[in-house]
Structure formats: C-alpha cells, structure tokens
Amino acid sequence: MQIEGIIFDWAGTTVDYGCFAPVQVFIGIFEEIGIPVTMEEVRAPMGQLKRDHIQSLLQMPRIGAAFQTIFGRSYTEADIDELHDRFEPRLLAILSQFGKPNPHVIETVEQLRHQGLKIGATTGYTSTMLSIVANAAKDYGYEPDHWVTPDQVMDKGRPYPYMIYENMKQLGLRHHAQVIKVGDTTSDMQEANSAGVWAIGIVKGSSMLGLTEVEVQQLSAEEERQMIAAVSKQYMEAGAHAVIEDLSQLPAMIDHINNRLLNKELPYGYPHQ
C-alpha cells in the first residue's frame, strides 16, 4: 500500500501566500457594522465555508457581546445572510489577484505527477469563487486534476469529510490510507481526520502563520524557529500527522508515510509522528 493521491487546500497552501484575500474582506464587512475584528479572530475559523466562517465570528464571546451592545439584540440567521451578502461580491471582485502559486508549488506538483500521484483540492470557497482563483492559478501553471467546493457537497464543507470523498471518487483513489490532505488551517486537519486520510500542515504561506512572504524573509533565525514551532504545535493539537515548512518538503514526507504504510500504520489514532 502506497500513497496514490494528494489533496491540497487552496488559499494559504498552494496560492495566496498568507491567505490574505478573505481576511481583508472579513475585516471590512465587520468594520462597516461597527465591530472591529482582529486578524487573530478572523483567522481562527479559516478554512470553513464562508457563511459558516461569519457565523463562527459572531459566536465568539467578544464579537457577540459587541453585536448585542450595538444592536440591542443577539444576531440572527438574517444577520449572517446580510453579512455574507456583503462579503461575497467584494471577495469575487479581488480574487483574480490572488491566484499566484506559492513557492515550490508548481515544481512539487510536477514531481508528484511524474511519480504517478493524482492531485485533488478542497476549499472554503464556493464554486463561483474558486473558479476565479483556479483560472488565475492555471495561467501561472498550477492546475489540480480535480477540485471540490462545499456547495458541490450540499454545503457540508470542513470539518466534514465529503469534499475529500468526492475528490477520491473523481480521481479513482481506492483507500483513505493512500491519500494525504495538505492544508494551512486547523479545519484542514479536522477535515482530513474526518475522512481518515493523512493530515499534513504547512507553515510558510499559511493562514496559521499569517505573514507575507517578505515578512517571513525578514524574520531572524530565532523568530522563524519560534513561529514554526508554535504553528506546528497548533497543527498537531488539531490532529495533524506531520508538519512541513513548505511544499518542497512534501515528497520526502510522502516517502516517510509510505514507509509507515509498509509497517501497516494507518492514518488514525494518536500519537501522531
């Protein structure tokens, strides 16, 4: 038994270094209703379907209390819908600017394909949103064999396993233990665990790190070491089997997992290694 397929996340993993496109829109729509939100708050639910992301923000005690103070009541489903109605067109207007592949993506995917692996993708974006991102990424040379969005699986996005299952079906992947999910959020790790596939977190370029490429390059060696350790800890606590700094380390990690499979290890249970 060997790995047959890799399922990548999009923003923060393969494109949009630091996952900034949705972050800036979330901050903007909450500012408009008088509730400033922090970068940390916005990034906490990252990876979820965007309507679910808005609901998760409103469920945070500080934000929920601020909403209560401003509007004199708790938020309702209509409020979530209204915020999402603001969010979607603004994100759609900028997404074409965020399709550039992250470092090592194109060459790593080429190497994996040369080894016979299938390439899938899941996301927190809707089909309309991802179509824009995917077309932009294709212009740069990155195109997975298949991608699935939450609205293609009855809005059962992360942490549900169905986007991974649909990728497996379309790509002809036979067994969950032969599939790796690579992502940049805790919800990616939860999605992988729900599907019973291998979960790998990526540090550089991730929403979890939340830095631009220039900011990462400006870190001192000690600052970089501390940040990598902190992000890795969060991934492992969320159910990651392994963490890589960037995609150049993925082929070696696949070899490591293949060796674990030879020893009849399967991708569930703890502790992870």
* Residue-range definition of the domain harbouring residue 220: 5-19+98-262
The question of whether 156 is a catalytic residue gets the answer no
What is the model's pLDDT at position 137? 98
Residues of the chain predicted below pLDDT 70: 269-273
Angle, CA 239 vertex, CA 236 and CA 243 arms, to 5°: 45
In a domain, 127, yes or no: yes
Task: Kindly name the residue from 50, 118, 181, 204 that is annotated as catalytic.
Answer: 50
Q: Which residue, 41, 63, 96, sits at the end of a domain? A: 96
The question of whether 50 is a catalytic residue gets the answer yes
In a domain, 234, yes or no: yes
Pair 123, 87 in one domain: no
The answer to whether the annotation marks 9 as part of a ligand binding site is yes
What is the model's pLDDT at position 46? 87
Pair 116, 250 in one domain: yes
Task: Kindly name the residue from 9, 16, 52, 188 that is annotated as catalytic.
Answer: 9
What is the model's pLDDT at position 47? 83
Q: Which pLDDT tens digit goes with each residue over 172-215?
A: 999 999 999 999 999 999 999 999 999 999 999 999 999 999 99
Q: pTM (2 decimals)?
A: 0.90
CATH number of the domain to which 111 belongs: 3.40.50.1000
Whether the CB-CB separation of 179 and 162 falls below 8 Å is answered with no
Number of H helices, E strands in the chain: 12, 6
User: Residue 147 pairs with which residues in a beta bridge?
Assistant: 121
Q: Which pLDDT tens digit goes with each residue over 46-71?
A: 888 899 999 999 999 999 999 999 99
Count of beta carbons in the 10 Å neighbourhood of residue 5: 24
The answer to whether the annotation marks 11 as part of a ligand binding site is yes
